[in-house]
Amino acid sequence: MGQVQGKVALVTGAAAGIGAAIATTLGREGARVVLTDLDDARGEATAGAIRAAGGDALYLHQDVTDEARWQDVMAEIESRHGRLDVLVANAGIAIIAPIIGMSLADWRRQTAVNIDGVFLSAKHGIPLMRKPGAGKPASGGSIVMISSVAGLRGSAGLAGYSATKGAVRLFAKSVALECAGARDGIRCNSIHPGIIETAIWEKMPAGANDARRNAPLDPRAIAEATVPTGQLGTPQDVANAVLFLASDASSYVNGSEIVVDAGLMA
């Protein structure tokens, strides 16, 4: 039996990278997974691969900054599964720029995805996670918010990203306290990945706003220089921590933060 057998899980930003590994891992461990993303081709492919491996997966298009779409996604999950047990707020973007070179439009775009998107996930996810349903696991629901090591300290060149990820850290704790106070059985924790090999590094504009850089960011070189072991993390390293928080093995873990960084922050 899988570690999240029978649970219904929603993963945002699940088409690629860390989100795809989370969705695939939860699907392999018995969850019925709903994947959402902007990238429909890759989202459908990831959901298809989960089904091909014997899992239950549905892909839905979603921009996490669009509140009306959150209502549609929740209605779809309710009609298909009748409940939601695990919510992983993973979708995020990183815009690299020195503070004096960052446009207000870019600041707001990053804030919209990384903070508004996470706020909307809790606002629209909690009511369905609360709703009693037949066969709902006794331990209730688990919300996992993907922050970053950049949410634990400042980052030169990634000030806006750090600000959003620090906000996610404290928002997760606030969600944990509100849900605990309501005695609705929902837990909420944040995960803080270190240097993980995904396309997010390729998407950061190379050198456009940063005179010190003239080449694309190389996560392997950054890990070599900054991680005590020199190790570059994989999406699976993060997915393993999400699996623990999603499962009943973590039923006494609430309002907490798990750092997945091979000692970078130690």
CA distances in angstroms from 147 to 129, 166, 183, listed in the order given: 21, 7, 25
- Which residue number, 179 or 200, has a Cβ lying nearer to ligand NAD? 200
Helix (H) or strand (E) holding 260: strand 257-260
Task: Give yes or no: 252 in active site.
Answer: no
Least Å from the CB of residue 193 to ligand NAD:
4
Catalytic residue, chosen from 70, 161, 171, 201, is: 161
Which positions touch ligand NAD (CB under 6 A)? 12-13, 15-19, 37-39, 62-65, 90-94, 113, 146, 148, 193, 195-196, 198-200, 203
**DSSP bridge pairs for 58:** 34
Sign of CA dihedral 61, 63, 64, 70: negative
Helix (H) or strand (E) holding 70: helix 67-81
- Which residue number, 13 or 27, has a Cβ lying nearer to ligand NAD? 13
Least Å from the CB of residue 131 to ligand NAD:
24
List, as one string, the DSSP characters of 130-190: HS--TT--TT--EEEEE--GGGTS--TTBHHHHHHHHHHHHHHHHHHHHHHHTT---EEEE
Least Å from the CB of residue 81 to ligand NAD:
20
Least Å from the CB of residue 145 to ligand NAD:
9
Sequence-separated (6 or more) residues with CB below 8 Å from residue 256: 189, 190
- Which residue number, 62 or 250, has a Cβ lying nearer to ligand NAD? 62
Least Å from the CB of residue 198 to ligand NAD:
3
**Is the Cβ–Cβ distance between 203 and 209 less than 8 Å?**
no
- Which residue number, 4 or 149, has a Cβ lying nearer to ligand NAD? 149
Burial of 194 (C-beta count, 10 Å sphere; 0-12/13-18/19+): buried
- Which residue number, 4 or 91, has a Cβ lying nearer to ligand NAD? 91
Where do we find the tokens 């070599």? Answer: 224
**DSSP bridge pairs for 34:** 10, 58
**Which residues have a catalytic role annotated?**
161
